[in-house]
């Protein structure tokens, strides 16, 4: 048990720093040195255990504080995102890897007449005429295969009341830490008025040229 003496010396230096130590008269041992050797190991283990418990409690307290700070930041970002969504006239959406809708902003009500809840689990192609759905599926399939974004992708969607709505779609891929595709997030803009104006202009030009 004499191997515990070096540990005792270190322990004594921690518990009784030099600036607090009082020189002992000759022949009188310091308190720790007076402890029987058989009790040194339990004492050292007890001190180490107490130190470990104190460290764990401190770490937990710090982890809880960091977790709370992270939750506060997430809540702040979510609040800012919702404010941006509310201020936008565009339809913000998110789909999974199977192109099924997982999120739709409330603006879809004004654009298509559907509520966000009605679109969850559906695909954008479900709202397109068959020919348009086939055309868009081919384009999106190519982008998904290359995990590439798509921009200013014009397409036609049938609104809930049966009218045609022309959409300009922009989407960015969502990848996990291993680079696997999780889905897409993007923005759809209603360009119906612009498209109808262009069609009317083209029709007027054709009529003028036929005269």
CA atoms within 13 A on the CB side of 139: 18
Task: Check residue 16 and give its pLDDT.
Answer: 47
104: three-class secondary structure by DSSP: strand
Determine the Cα–Cα distance for residues 38 and 144; give it in Å rounded to an integer: 71
Mean pLDDT, contiguous 10-residue spans, the chain (211 residues): 50 47 45 54 66 71 68 64 64 94 94 95 96 94 92 94 95 92 94 84 70 67
Task: Check residue 21 and give its pLDDT.
Answer: 44
Task: Check residue 17 and give its pLDDT.
Answer: 47
Strands laid side by side in the 150-158 sheet: 101-104, 91-96, 181-190, 164-175, 150-158
Task: Check residue 172 and give its pLDDT.
Answer: 94
Rounded to a whole number, what is the largest CA-CA distance in the chain?
Answer: 127
Residue 67, H or E segment:
helix 40-87
pLDDT digits (tens, 9 = 90+) for 29-87: 445 555 555 555 566 666 667 777 777 777 677 666 676 776 667 666 556 655 555 65
Kindly report the CA angle at 78 between 74 and 84, in degrees rounded to 5? 145
Task: Check residue 207 and give its pLDDT.
Answer: 73
Determine the Cα–Cα distance for residues 94 and 145; give it in Å rounded to an integer: 18
Determine the Cα–Cα distance for residues 21 and 9; give it in Å rounded to an integer: 13
Contact 150, 139 (CB under 8 A): yes
pTM: 0.58
């Amino acid at each position: 048990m004499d191997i515990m003496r070096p540990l005792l010396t270190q322990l004594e230096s921690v518990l009784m720093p030099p600036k607090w130590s009082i020189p002992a008269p000759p022949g009188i041992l310091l308190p720790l040195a007076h402890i029987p050797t058989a009790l040194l190991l339990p004492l050292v283990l007890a001190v180490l255990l107490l130190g470990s418990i104190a460290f764990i409690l401190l770490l937990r307290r710090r982890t809880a504080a960091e977790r709370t700070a992270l939750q506060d930041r997430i809540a702040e970002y979510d609040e800012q995102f919702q404010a941006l969504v509310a201020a936008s006239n565009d339809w913000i959406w998110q789909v999974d890897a199977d192109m099924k809708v997982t999120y739709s902003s409330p603006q879809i009500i004004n654009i298509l007449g559907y509520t966000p809840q009605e679109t969850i689990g559906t695909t954008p192609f479900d709202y397109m005429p068959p020919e348009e759905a086939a055309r868009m599926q081919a384009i999106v399939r190519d982008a998904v295969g290359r995990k590439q974004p798509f921009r200013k992708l014009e397409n036609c969607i049938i609104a809930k009341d049966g009218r045609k709505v022309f959409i300009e779609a922009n989407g960015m891929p969502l990848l996990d830490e291993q680079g696997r595709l999780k889905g897409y997030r993007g923005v759809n803009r209603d360009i119906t008025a612009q498209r109808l104006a262009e069609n009317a202009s083209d029709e007027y030009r054709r009529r003028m040229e036929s005269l």
